Amino acid sequence: MANPNSLKLELVTSEDIPALIDLWFRVFTDPSMQHLFPDTPGVCEWWTDANRHDLVHKPFQRYLKIIDPDSIDDQGRPRMVAYAKWDLGSLDVRGSRFPPWHEDMPGRDCEQFFGRLDSERRVIMGERKHFYLDMLGTDPAYRRCGAASMLLRWGCDLADQEETAAYVDASRDGAPLYGKFGFVDRTVSAGGTASMVRE
């Protein structure tokens, strides 16, 4: 069991992207995500390029990681045990959330799923300024150690400082954690996610 007191929050760097992609595939193992993002070399490369592009070219998106200094990964670096991507820009500023889908991915299903999420967010938030928690994942071995809460607290504190709402497309399993931080389910359309807002 990890020592929660040893976990540290840091900014993600380009050198962290391989570990971030590896973590993503350890976290998002449900069949629906495996269908949209199959674990193939091509999709791993697609994810790598997509994250590197956003990290370099979208300064309004903040990548954060939680590391465990007491655990060293295969590269001799502190293990990344959780990460988050907070989008501080509007839907219009963000542009396309993802690059063109890789041929290994079911493009039509991806368009439908993520298009529904964006449409739901537009209906609920309109033109109001808000921060969007684009991604949050914790290594299964580090769940209930406070890593996700550290990443959530970072964005919520910033939203409070700027008197701005926050929004997340939560999994049904993750919704209770967001509720502890003041997010309320405002889901409009049926689907596998909960559209949650923190005013």
What is the DSSP code string of 91-123? HHHH--SS-SPPTTS-HHHHHHHHHHHHHHHHH
Say what the pLDDT of residue 173 is: 84
Residue 4 pLDDT: 67
Per-residue pLDDT, 190: 64
The pTM for the full model equals 0.92
Burial degree of 28 (CB within 10 A; 0-12, 13-18, 19+): middle
Q: Which fold has domain 4-198?
A: Aminopeptidase (3.40.630)
Strand 78-87 versus strand 184-185 pairing type: unpaired
Distance of CA 41 to the CA centre of its chain: 21
Quote the Cα angle for 196-198-199, to 5°.
135
pLDDT in tens, the chain (199 residues): 566 679 999 999 999 999 999 999 999 999 999 999 999 999 999 999 999 999 999 999 999 999 999 999 888 899 999 999 999 987 677 778 899 999 999 999 999 999 999 999 999 999 899 999 999 999 999 999 999 999 999 999 999 999 999 999 998 888 999 999 999 999 887 677 899 999 9
Among 167, 165, 2, 26, smallest CA distance to 83 is for 26
Question: 196: how many CB neighbours lie within 10 A of its CB?
Answer: 23
